[in-house]
Each structure stands twice: as structure tokens, then as C-alpha cells.
Amino acid sequence: MIENALEIRHITKTFGPVVANRDVSMDIRKGEILSVLGENGSGKTTLMNMIAGIYYPDSGQIFVNGKEAAIRSPGDAFALGIGMIHQHFKLVDVFTAAENIVLGLKEGKKFDMKGAVEKIRAICDRYGFDITPDQKVYDMTVSQKQTLEIVKVLYRGADILILDEPTAVLTPQETDRLFQVMREMKADGKSVVIITHKLHEVLAVSDRVAILRKGEYVDTVETKDATELSLTEMMVGKKVTLDIDRPVVKNKKLRLAVEKVSCVNKEGVTVLDDVSFEAFGGEILGIAGISGSGQKELLEAIAGLQLVGEQSSITFMDPENGDEPVPLVGQNPRKIKELGIHLSFVPEDRLGMGLVGSMGMTDNMMLKSYEDGKSFFIERKAPKALAEEIKEDLEVVTPGINTPVRRLSGGNVQKVLVGREIAAAPAVLMTAYAVRGLDINTSYAIYRLLNEQKEKGVAVIYVGEDLDVLVELCDRILVLCGGKVSGIVSGATKEEVGLLMTKVGGKDPAEGGMTE
Amino acid sequence: MLNNLIAWLIRAIPFGTIILYGSMGETLTEKSGNLNLGVPGIMYLGGYAGYLCGYLYENHAANPNAFVCVLLALLAAFAASALGGLIFSFLTITLRANQNVTGLALTTFGMGVANFGGKFLLNESGYSSAPFSNAAFAYKILPGADSTGIFGKIFLSYGFLVYMAIIMAVILHFVLNRTRVGLNLRAVGENPATADAAGIHVTLYKYLATCIGAGISGLGGLYYILDYNNGIWNTSDQIEALGWLAVALVIFTTWRPLNGIWGAYLFGVLYWLYQYLPNLLGITISTYAIDLVQMIPYMVTIVVLIVVSLHKKRENQPPASLGIAYFREER
Amino acid sequence: MNAAAHVKEPFVRMAKRNDLSLKKKIFIRAIAILAALLVDGIFIFLITGLNPFGVYGVMFAGSFGTFMKFKWVLRDLATLLIVGIALAPAFKMRFWNIGAEGQILMGGLASAVCMIYLGNTLPNWLLLLVMLVTSVLCGALWAFIPAVFKAIWNTNETLFTLMMNYVATSIVACCTNFFRGDNAKMALINMGTKAGWFPMILGQRYTINILVVFVLTILMYIYLKYTKHGYEISVVGESENTARYAGIDVKKVMIRTISISGAICGLAGYLILAGKDMSLSTTSAGGNGFTAIIVAWLAKFNTFYMVLISFLLVFLDKGASDIASAFQVNDYMSDIVTGVILFFILGSEFFINYKLIFRKGGAKNA
């Protein structure tokens, strides 16, 4: 007889106008490893956050061990034996491992650090964790921090462990270790839930797979009956015809050559590894990949906002100067502009990077051009005219062009940003998640704008997450996986792209046929 | 020579005690992530409330009892300062007002209340004294102050608040570093979101740390008036400078109460340097240069601040969320 | 389920709001000030038994009673306002310059030194010019030091600038002791020659102070709003990430802006020496460096709002002094009244930025 550790019934959760989960029902069994699979934005994390007490559902019920439970805080979840390991670790850097583990606990009368350390050691021995209780968190590697989070959850006596994309930050070897640990926990009778979108991991570690798509529950299948293809189909759904135009532009010209770009982030993790590609004027180059595969760093490297490794080379062919090659490595945004290069960039963080939230449209128009001219004073006439024009052309809904853009809705904010970047008459236009959080109409307006640019001969780079859109909109798609290029394809189906997204180690010979 | 050195220390230790209280309270407050720049105002409140209580008691009680007098003054000082901390907490934690600005306003307010009350309620001269309370506070509680020679003179000849400060520093150190409450509190100051996720009541911790911290700071004002200043209430700006020195001491000790003990006395030694060092060295310093010496504690603090920021050793940094309001945000 | 849903929604929760009209903002602030005056009134009544309305009447006369009193208001307003103006760009950039007090003192010190040592050698106009330049430079230097450390090593500027105040105080104390020699107090500098004093205009030397601050109010408004520098300050203050994206050199902007802030504080020191006090002491800055922080913050860096807030504070101060003499209480009362008003205004900001949502009674949950 199969016993359920946890049952979810008809859970719906909305954030403002966005429905994150709609009427989801599923079970977690005792002593199993369950994968929760879905694309970015499919509502996996939101759903699990409701089990862990981070969010509270708008409607629906959760049963733990057959009893209905109201989980209002992480504390409630702990009391029910539920522990979640978040993608962003919740650790205090200057504390030791042991201090982080006992933080917030109220066990016993006396504060017994020694006893706690012994208990931690016992847990570590049992599962073979490599954690030194008195090591400071700031001295730990990412993998150690994650282990610490797991120990923390186990220390609190969790029977249901939820891991939110745990392998995103791990090396293959570390991933294998983690899977081993998960199996041992399962053998111990615990339920382990792993949120992921990597198919091979699903197949490698889990007993069952629950699939979510666009906030809705699709199905749960036994892993032994599943294949990468069957899972992909369920994850991405039936092919949706979006009717996004893809005009053909003749006479494409090489505009940007990226060679051997590598990049290490603040934590010392390699986020870009030997990335090479070319972008042509008159085409849209899509960049696909699981979030955090290096998309952000790649665009920032081109824009001059990211330090890159020594071998790296980024070359721009200047159309205004007879396609003269100009090296971009080592430049900052201002220098790039001073070189006369029209490089536009719509970053992912719209209000935290692309725009100044407290300023109106007019002032945001001049963010990159305010320095023009010799005058000490700022020139607002042209930006004001531009703001009016964008408001008119893109139908930006705002009380006025001087209303702080922070007050506008997400779609209007994006129109302001994209409008400005396009108005700069770019030779290269880079966009990161340009339609994230936007409604259908605004999304199509953005696609239209990108296509217009393409037809003007601009090299458009489109980092996206919706594979349907990528496949229909882009001429070619570069797929990033773990900071490496796992393929550059044209005319591929979204299943093929989806498979490339989850390839470890980049170029798999089997996919060679699709790689250019 | 030796006499000079002894005299120097005997002046430095009481001076250090004033700012030790101030800095202990502020350390506790800052550990919760609140930067309360109202320390001078709080020390005024504590000093004045304690003094007022002692003054009224000794002038109205038929047979004033030293113990009762001390207890009343301590309670009054602590309560009044904690009330100052409560104003700060309510404005910055609940109403999310800016901490720096609120702290400075609290300093203005505290100074105003104390000096206004001091003049208005006690007598119109802005100067009055409470000799009985002073005697009660300055009473040398340790035996052997006069019989153990130099040792007694240097270490045993103070009122009880001097020793209580040391004991409190040790207790504070213990609480912060060896108890669950201390661990939780430090987590609140370092990373309130993590503390929140761990089920710690962030707001409650911040309130309590700030109010109790203010109460402790206020004892510094009390000690200054009733012991250090011989029980004389003098309406002046004297306490303000001491308050800022206490803030400096917090940085100097890198937020560690145990460092505070020697740090405070070192500040005391530096403060009185101008009077004793020239004699010790047998040189004469022009009177105008004396004031220059007074900046040494601040200079030393600046150097510590710079060194700490250069070194980037994590343990010595200010609490990571210092000065930043925390509120849980829905997506 | 129902019980759970009820517990889930707290009795009152808050949400950010950003759609408040100017009218409502003014209304909320006015309520705050009135509430503060009410609390102060009750306080005054309880402590002194004086009729609060009578007290406020006297208070009003403290600023508007005579033309002379009004001129003093303008003089003190100018001194407070110029420091607020100095701090505006720093705070707008989210750099906590708590060190205005020290920067003013260093500016004043530079002026005093020039007056004393160059008083007999230079013609007055040139002397005034030299004083101006050295004061501005000294003030700027005093701000430049912490700014450099902040820009390069991220040294905590709040604590650094705070400490710099007392270093400046010590230096000034040392110098004044040196200058005064055997005198008990430092007398007016160049009493006989009046070298380095502003000329009398409309019967007062501080007329120049008022004019300078008036001009500066407009200039700073323009600087922050209509110049490239001002634009950069806004962007850096809002988000360093955006600044980098826009190609702004954050370190350069920070050091430049803070130096300007310090320079204006130095200028304030110059005005105090040449037009107001003609003497130097450790209290020459008179706490304006701290009070101005509140002025700048509450005015949201708008120099014209600063005029209003400075006026309110000076008005309270003057009024309290008059109450002190009229009712024979002491003038520390102004600190209390000011403190309470500040608490209320600071607290009222919350109601401008957030709205409280009360749980609807009997809300149904599915």
C-alpha cells in the first residue's frame, strides 16, 4: 500500500494579475524521490514555497500525513517535518555551520552548543556529509553551503525535504554526491522532492516525476516509464502556433564576433566558459538556456559591464566605418559609446539597471545620452520629444512623461526601456527576457519592434525563456548550458532546443547534426 | 613619577566607565542592526532622570537610605533612557523612518528634556547638587581600598558602577556569544531575512535590543552625574561629547563588549593624556596644544575604521544590516 | 480552513503606495505638525501650567514681534539653510555626510587664520577673497578624506564623518586657545581694523550672508535639477548598477559630490566668520551641521522645501527663546519642542509612503 506523506489539493496562488499556480493537485509519497519538472515560470518554486510556508495559497488545501494543515510560516513547516533548501541560501555569513543550524531553534532549556555539534556530527556521519561544524560560512564553497542547508533541515527533523534546483550551482561530481545523499535519505524513509528542469537528472535520481506547465499541473509519471523525449513533450506542451513573423532579410552582415569568452563571478565560479559565436546584422539570434546558465554575464560582457578572461575577444564590425573591426574587451559603456558604437542593451533588471525608477520618462530617455554636448547643463528638449514619441508610438500608459517610471506597470516600463534602446539607432540590440511578465499584446508589440530592427539590418540578440517564442522568432538559437555553448541551431524544434539546454558538458556528438 | 601615573589611571578609569556604559548599550543596539545616533540624548535622559530621582528622594525622604536611593536612581535612569530607545524603535522599526535622522533628532530631544528639566525643575540656576546620592553612588564598596596601597588605590577605590560596568560587559559578551538569544540577535543584525526565515521574531528582537541598549547607555549618564561629577547637575553640553565618544568606542572595539573594557580605559587614558604625560616626560606642553591631544581617541577610531575596511576580515565588520530597515516583502 | 484563512490575514497590514497627490502629502504633514504642536502644548501645560495658546502666541512674537527679531530669524535661517544646501547633493547620492559640523569649523578656521595673519597686509576685498578660497578648500578637504575612503574601500562614511567632527573640534579648540593667548575668551577678530569683516549693507553685515544663501538656494536647485552633475548624482543615489549601465564613473561622482558638499560647508564657516560672529570657537557651527541633516532629509533634497523647514526650525528656536524670557523658563525648551516636531514629521513620512490596509470584517474565504 502506498502512503502519501503530503497531498496537495486544488491549490491556486496569484501574485497580482499573474497566476502562478492554478488548481494544482498532486501527492508526495513516503520514501520516494519525486522530481518536480517544468520550465522557468511554470510555478514549480511557488508551489513548493507554499508547502514550506513561504507563501500561503489563495485557495486549496494541503494534507500532511492525511491531516489538513495550515502552513503559515517556515516554522509551521518545520513543525510538520517539512524543510526546504532554497536556491538562495538562507545563511548568516559570519556564523559557523553549527550556529547557522541551531539558529532560531528553541530546543531544551540550556543553550547547548556542544550537544548540538555532536548531533550535527551524527547526522553528517550517517549520510556522509563533509561539514565542519565550526567552519565559518564565508569560508565555504557553494556546495558546502548547500550541504549545510541540507544538514540544517535534517537537524530540524524534516521528513519531507524539498530542494529547489540544487544542482544549478554544483559541478557534476558534486551533483553525483548529492544524488547519493538523496538516495540515502530515501532509504531512511524520507520523502525527497527535487525541483529541476534538467531531464537527465530527473531520469537519474527520481522515482516519479510531476510535471508543471505554465502554472498548471500536467501529470505525474513513473520515471521508469519516461524518456527524455516524453518528458520534454509534457514539459513544453503541444506545439503552440504563435504566429510570430520571421521576415527573411537578405544580405546579412557580420556585426559581432565573440570568441573564447570566459568569465568568473564574485564567488569564483566560472559562469562563462569558452563561449564563441557570431551575430549578423539582419537576423535575430536567440539565446536559450536554463536561467543562470551565463546569459546575463554574456550580455554584460559584450556591453562592457563584465570583466572577462584573458583569452576572450569580442569584436564589433562598425557599419558606419566600412565594417572596420573594433575590439570591445576592456571597454566600459561610456568608452564604447565614445567609440561611436551604437550598442543597445535591454537588461533583465529593468528598474534596477536599465532605468531609474524615481525618474520620469524624459529623464530616463537621457540615461545614456545625457553626457552629449559640451554644455554643463542638461539638455531636456530632445529627450522630452523622444519620450512623447515613444509614449505615442508604443502606446505607453502613463499619467505623464514626468511620472516616475516605477509607478508604471511592468509592460509599460518595458516599453519605455525598449523604446529608448531602439531609438538610439543601434547596430547591435541585445535584450534579456524582454517579454518576461508582460501580457500577450505587449509581448507581440515587442516582437514586432525586434523584427523591425532586424529588417533595418540590426543584429538582434534575444535572450529568452519561452521556447515556443524562441523557435518562431529567432533565425538561429544559441543554447547555453552551464556557461558553455551546447549548440547553435537553426530551424530546430523546441524539443531539440530543450534537450540541448540540459546537456552537460556542451557539445554532444549526437547533436552534431544540428550544430552549425 | 609613579604618583603621576597612578593619578592618571585613577582619573582614566572613571572616565572610561562613563563611555563604557554608553558603548555597551550602543553595541547591543547595533547588533540588532539599528544604528542609534541618539546616544548623547539618551545619556542625557538617563543622567537627568537618575539625578532627579536621587535629588527628590534625598530632599523629601525623612531618613534617606543609601540603598533605596541607588535603586531608585538606577531604575529611573534605565527607564527614561529605555523610553528614548522606544521612541527611536517605534519611529525606525515600525514607521521605518531613517535611522540617522531619527537618532539625531533624539539627541536634540534628549538634550532638551534634560537641560530644560534640569533648570526648570531643580532650580533656576541650572546648577544643583545631590550630595547624599553622590555619596551613595561613590561609596567604595570593595574592601581594602585604603589598606592595600597602590593596588587598592588604582583598582578598589571606586563606586560600584565602575565594577558593575565590567561585570555587565562580561555578561553582555556572554549573552551575545554564548546564548541562543545572542545568536538570534546577531542573526537579526547580520541578515534579518535569514533570521526571519528561521522563525525569529525580527521586530521584537530589534525593539528589545534597542530599548535595553538605550537603558544601558543611559546608565553612563547616571554615572557621570552622580559619581564622576560629584552629584552635581550642571546644565551644559558636557554629556554630548561623551555620547559621541561612546559611539566611537563601539567602532573602536569592533562591536565586542570585552574589548570595550580596556578600550574604554584606554580612551580615558588618552583623554587625560594632556594633564599627565607632560609631567611624566618632564616636558611642558603649551596650553593650546592640550586640545589637540583630545582628538586622539577620535583619530584612533578613524584609523580602526579604515583598517577594518581595508582588511575586510569578516568578524570585524559592522553588523551587515546596520542602518537598514527590514521588512518582509511579498513578491 | 476558515480559521486558517482568518489567522493568515493580519488585522492590519501595510502596502507601499506611490500615488499620493501633493495636496494629500501637504495635508499629512500639516496634521503631523499640528499634532506635534498639540503634544508640545500639553507638555508645556503639564510642566509649567502655562496656557499653551499664550505660549504659542509669544512664540510667534519671537520671530515676528519686531523687525529686528525678524532679521535675526533671517540671519539664523541663512546659516542653517546653507548647511542644508551643502548636504543636499550628498544625501541625494545616499552618502551620509554627518560631518558638516566639522567641515564648517574647518572652513571657519581657515577664515580666522587669514583674518589674523593677513588682516594687516591685504586690502579688505582681497582678504575676503583669500578667506573665501581657503575656507572653501578646507571644508572640501575635510569631506574629501572620508569620500575617498568610501569610494575606494567602502569605509563606513556615517561613522567616519562623525569622527571627523571631533577631530575638527579639537583642532579649532587648539587654535582658538593659541589665538586668544591669555584672554579668557577669543574676542572678535580684528576688532579695530574690521579686516575680513563683511561691509554693512542695509545696516547689517549678515545681509551678505542672506544674499549669498539666497543665491545658493537657487543655484543648488539648478545644479541638482538641470546639470549633468545633478543628473549623475540622482542616478548614483538611485542605483549604482544603473549608474554603471549608463557608463557613469561612480567613484569619481562620489568624490566630486562630497567635495562640493564639504566646500559649501566651508563656505558656511566663512559666512559665519565674516558676516555673523567675527570670532571663532568650537561652537561656531552651533549644531547646524546636525540640524541641517534633518532639514535636508525632510525636504527630500529640494532646496526650496529646505527654506520652509529651516524656517520652521528657526521659528521654533526663536520662539522658545522668547518664551523663556517671557515666562521665565529656560530656552532649552526649544530643543524639546523641536525634537517632538521632528519625531512627528519623521513618523508622518510613513503615512505618505505606505497605506494601512485593515482586514475587512467578515470577509469570506472559499
Mean pLDDT comparison of A362-376, A383-397, B22-36, highest-scoring range: B22-36
User: Does residue A506 register a pLDDT over 60?
Assistant: no
Residue C10 pLDDT exceeds 60: no
Question: Quick check: B241 and C166 CB within 8 A?
Answer: yes
Number of domains in chain B: 1
A366 touches chain C (CB under 8 A): yes
Do A208 and A251 fall within a single domain? Answer: no
Residue from C1, C2, C92, C242 whose CB has the most chain A CBs within 10 Å, to mutate: C242
Q: Between B and C, how many CB-CB pairs are < 8 A?
A: 163
Q: Judge whether A352 lies within some domain.
A: no
CA–CA min distance A271, chain C (Å): 19
Q: For residue A4, what are the β-bridge partners?
A: A29
Task: Decide if A516 touches C, using CB distance below 8 A.
Answer: no
Minimum Cα–Cα distance from A138: chain B residue: B314
Q: pLDDT digits over A51-67, tens only?
A: 988 888 888 999 999 89
Q: Which helix (H) or strand (E) holds B15?
A: helix B2-31
pLDDT at A497 over 90: no
- Give chain C's mean pLDDT: 85
**Cα dihedral across residues C212, C218, C224, C228: positive or negative:** negative
Which of A78, A90, A113 minimises the CB distance to B194?
A: A90
Q: What was the pLDDT predicted at C4?
A: 40
Cβ contact (<8 Å) for C163 and B119? no
Written as nine digits, the cell of A449 is 519592434
- Range among A159-163, C7-11, C182-186 with highest mean pLDDT value: A159-163
Q: How far apart are the first and last CA of chain A?
A: 52
Domain assignment present for B295: yes
CA distance B232 to B272: 21
The verdict on residue A348 lying in a domain is no
In a domain, A351, yes or no: no
Residue A349 lies in a domain: no
Higher pLDDT, C320 or C19: C320
Taking the CA of residue A304 and the nearest CA in chain C, the distance in Å comes to 9
Q: What is the mean pLDDT of residues C51-67?
A: 80
Which of B108, B250, B286 is most worth mutating to test chain C (most C CB atoms within 10 A of its CB)?
B108
Tell whether A90 is within 8 A of chain B (Cβ). Answer: yes
CA dist A472 and C265 (Å) reads 61
- Provide the domain limits for residue B83: 2-316
A60 sits in the region (left: phi over 0; alpha: psi -120 to 50; else beta) called: left
When mean pLDDT is compared over A463-477, B105-119, B158-172, B276-290, the highest value belongs to B158-172
Residue with cell 523687525: C67
Question: Which residues numbered 377-416 in A keep a CB inside 8 Å of some CB on C?
Answer: 377-378, 404, 406-407
The better pLDDT of the pair A368, C22 is held by: A368
Select from B45, B90, B100, B244 the residue whose CB has the most chain C CBs within 10 Å, as the one to mutate to test that interface: B100
Q: Where among A424, A452, A483 does a domain terminate?
A: A424
Chain C residues inside the 8 Å CB shell of A77: none
**How many structural domains does chain A have?**
3
| pTM: predicted TM-score of the whole model, two decimal places | 0.85
The domain that contains B195 carries what CATH number? 1.10.3470
Q: Is pLDDT of A513 > 50?
A: no
Position A100 confidence tier, pLDDT thresholds 50, 70, 90: very high
Is beta strand A484-489 parallel, antiparallel or unpaired with respect to A476-481?
antiparallel
Residue C360's pLDDT is what? Answer: 54
Identify the closest residue of chain A to C18 by CA–CA distance: A407
Interface contact flag, A357 C238, Cβ < 8 Å: yes
Q: What percent of chain A has pLDDT over 90?
A: 35
Cα(B327)–Cα(B82) distance, integer angstroms: 23
- A101 and A13 in a common domain: yes
Residues 6+ apart with CB under 8 A from C344: C32, C33, C35, C36, C39
Facing A352 at nearest CB: one of C226, C232, C242: C242
Question: What is the average per-residue pLDDT within A333-359?
Answer: 89
The CA distance from A298 to A306, in Å, is: 8
A91-95, A387-391, B327-331, C164-168: least confidently modelled range? B327-331
Contacting chains of C (3 CB pairs or more, <8 Å) are A, B
Does A49 reside within a domain?
yes
- The residue range of the domain holding A388 is 357-424
Beta bridge mates, A27: A7
Q: Which residues does A502 contact at the CB level (< 8 Å), separation at least 6? A: A197, A198, A199, A200, A290, A481
Q: What pLDDT was estimated at residue A258?
A: 92
Q: Do residues A417 and A432 both lie within one domain? A: no
Average pLDDT of span A114-118? 89
CA–CA dist A367, B121 (Å, integer): 59
CB contact residues (below 8 A), chain C span 200-259, against chain A: 226-232, 234-235, 238-239, 241-242, 244-249
Closest CB to B183 among A78, A103, A136: A103
- Mean pLDDT, chain A, rounded, equals 86
Q: What is the pLDDT of residue A509?
A: 36
- Distance between CA atoms of A51 and B68, rounded to whole angstroms? 57
Residues A315 and A371 in one domain: no
* Nearest chain B CA: its distance from A306 CA (Å): 23
Question: What secondary structure does DSSP assign to A462-487, as a single string?
Answer: EE-S-HHHHHHH-SEEEEEETTEEEE
Is the distance from CB of B239 to CB of B47 less than 8 angstroms?
A: yes
Amino acid of residue B293:
V
Average pLDDT over every residue of C342-356: 85
From the list C155, C287, C291, the residue facing B309 with the nearest CB is C155
Please report the residues numbered 39 through 78 in chain A whose beta carbons come closer than 8 angstroms to any beta carbon of chain C.
56, 59, 61, 68, 70, 72
Contact check, Cβ <8 Å, C238/A332: no
Does the residue A20 lie in any domain? yes
Grade residue B57 by pLDDT with cuts at 50, 70 and 90.
very high
What DSSP string runs through A406-462?
A: GGS-HHHHHHHHHHHHHHT--SEEEEESTTTT--HHHHHHHHHHHHHHHHTT-EEEE
Task: Verify whether the Cβ–Cβ distance A103 to B178 is below 8 Å.
Answer: no
Cβ contact, residue pair B295, C336, below 8 Å: no
pLDDT given for residue B46 in this prediction: 96
Whether A425 contacts chain B with CB within 8 A:
no
pLDDT digits (tens, 9 = 90+) for B249-267: 998 898 999 999 999 999 9
Residue B310 at interface with chain C, using a CB cutoff of 8 Å: yes
- A217 and A282 assigned to the same domain: no
Task: Give me the residue from C159, C171, C346 closest to B251, CB to CB.
Answer: C159
Sign of CA dihedral C134, C137, C139, C141: negative
Cβ-Cβ contacts under 8 Å between A and C: the total is: 83
Q: What is the ipTM of this complex?
A: 0.88
Contact at CB, A94 and B193, closer than 8 angstroms: no
Q: Do B97 and C350 touch (CB under 8 A)?
A: yes
Tell which of A408, A424, A440 closes a domain. Answer: A424
What CATH number does the domain containing A176 carry?
3.40.50.300
> pLDDT band at residue C8, thresholds of 50, 70 and 90?
very low
